[in-house]
Structure 1
Amino acid sequence: MLNFEVVWAYDLAGGLLAGSLPHRWAHTQGVAACARTLSPFMKGERAGVLEAAAVLHDIGYAPPLVETGFHPLDGARYLRDMHAADERVVRLVANHSFALLEAEERGLRDELGEEFPPLADPLLVDALVYCDMTTTPDGGRTTSEARVREILSRYGEDSVVGRFVRRAAPEIHGSVARVRAAAAEVSVAL
């Protein structure tokens, strides 16, 4: 059963992304579907926190929210300032998929890290990375290796995103491996 925060997240993200950025919305829905598959080994309310963060992780791309041009920061600020969203969700959105490394490439590392310190819940952090980095731009399933290659081909090796994803790739693959191992321990097929 979906909790109130997850329903709210779907309504908010759908309203911001579905019309203006339909491909981003398709990716978001795929990331959220992946998060639901992880719920059997997320204890208590953490499953809802993960799904809400998965649904909201890319809202910073929505044209009305763009301020810095760095979607994790723009999205997290919007969630904090306009909606007083759950702090765990906001911090997951701000730091999803090793965003601090990209923030560094953009000269925003101190700003992001001071406003939104990374969440001290390794399983939740890894789970969101897993969901984001094993979901294609159109919402399908993929491997983290293929996803990194796709990002590099889309943005270019020497772009800000390309430099970031090359630096983050070992961490991304590590998160994916840890989630797969955790899922295997409780017999959840991924």
Structure 2
Amino acid sequence: MDDKFGKLAMELAQTELSGPLPRRWAHTQGVAQRAIEVRQALGVDAGLLLAAATLHDVGYAPRLAATGFHPLDGARFLRDEHGADKRLVRLVANHSFALLEAEERGLHEELAAEFPLPEEPLLVDALVYCDMTTTPDGDRTTAQDRVAEIRSRYGDDSVVGRFIRRAAPEIFASVERVEAALAAQPR
């Protein structure tokens, strides 16, 4: 996957998100920027990381929200309407520990069967890092502040609140692994 696909991914995300969900579009742009900053240093598939970062929230687009669970809706859209790369679709479907949220929504088996977890741990961690160190407005933040913001926005008793409390230790561990990998890079 190359930067050409990254450009196509950006155009697709902009088309689906910028009009109906400008704040989600701002977040998406910030997540993509994080991917640009870290992709080479991590030694992962740079184009794939950029595309996944750019498209991770496309399932929030109102016209795509079939199940109301954006990782699943976005992955199906990319697969069914765009014939997207299988690795990309699996990353979008599983971004930021989506399987844990799928459990809360009664969609775990469906998500896991349709889109198995990618077998590229550093790439999965890199996407978590990009998503969870970016505010809803696209600015940089810490994973701790991002989790706190999500809990505050949705409430601890909501589906998302329960999910994020469960996922927080995994999110923090992913971010720590990426930060360690970045720190180990020669400057």
Q: Distance in 1 between matches of 2:72 and 2:53?
A: 15
Post-superposition offset of 1:5:
0.9
Post-superposition offset of 1:4:
1.6
Q: Distance in 2 between matches of 1:129 and 1:181?
A: 14
State the partner residue of 2:24: 24
Q: Distance in 2 between matches of 1:130 and 1:39?
A: 11
Query: Which amino acid is 2:41 matched to?
Result: F
TM-score (norm 1): 0.96
Query: Which amino acid is 2:79 matched to?
Result: R
| Structure 1, unaligned runs of 5 or more | none
Secondary structure in structure 1 of the residue aligned to 2:66: coil
Contact 2:42/2:181, CA 8 A, preserved across alignment: no
Query: Which amino acid is 1:32 matched to?
Result: A
Instruction: Give the aligned length.
Output: 186
State the partner residue of 2:163: 164
CA RMSD of aligned residues (A): 1.0
Secondary structure in structure 2 of the residue aligned to 1:158: coil
Post-superposition offset of 1:165:
0.2
User: C-alpha offsets along residues 95-152 of structure 1, whole Å, 9 cap, x if unaligned?
Assistant: 0000000000000000000000010000100000000000000000000000000000
State the partner residue of 2:91: 92
Post-superposition offset of 1:87:
1.0
TM-score (norm 2): 0.97
Secondary structure in structure 2 of the residue aligned to 1:140: coil
Q: Distance in 2 between matches of 1:96 and 1:165?
A: 13
| Structure 2, unaligned runs of 5 or more | none
Matches within 5 A, 1:24-63: 24-43=24-43, 46-63=45-62
State the partner residue of 1:145: 144
State the partner residue of 1:76: 75
User: C-alpha offsets along residues 137-188 of structure 1, whole Å, 9 cap, x if unaligned?
Assistant: 0000000000000000000001000000000000000000000000111146
State the partner residue of 2:121: 122
User: C-alpha offsets along residues 70-94 of structure 1, whole Å, 9 cap, x if unaligned?
Assistant: 0000000000011011111110100
State the partner residue of 2:3: 3
Q: Distance in 1 between matches of 2:86 and 2:34?
A: 22
Quick one: percent identity of the two aligned structures?
Answer: 66
Query: Which amino acid is 2:81 matched to?
Result: M
Query: Which amino acid is 2:113 matched to?
Result: E
User: C-alpha offsets along residues 35-79 of structure 1, whole Å, 9 cap, x if unaligned?
Assistant: 0011222436x0110000000000000011010000000000000
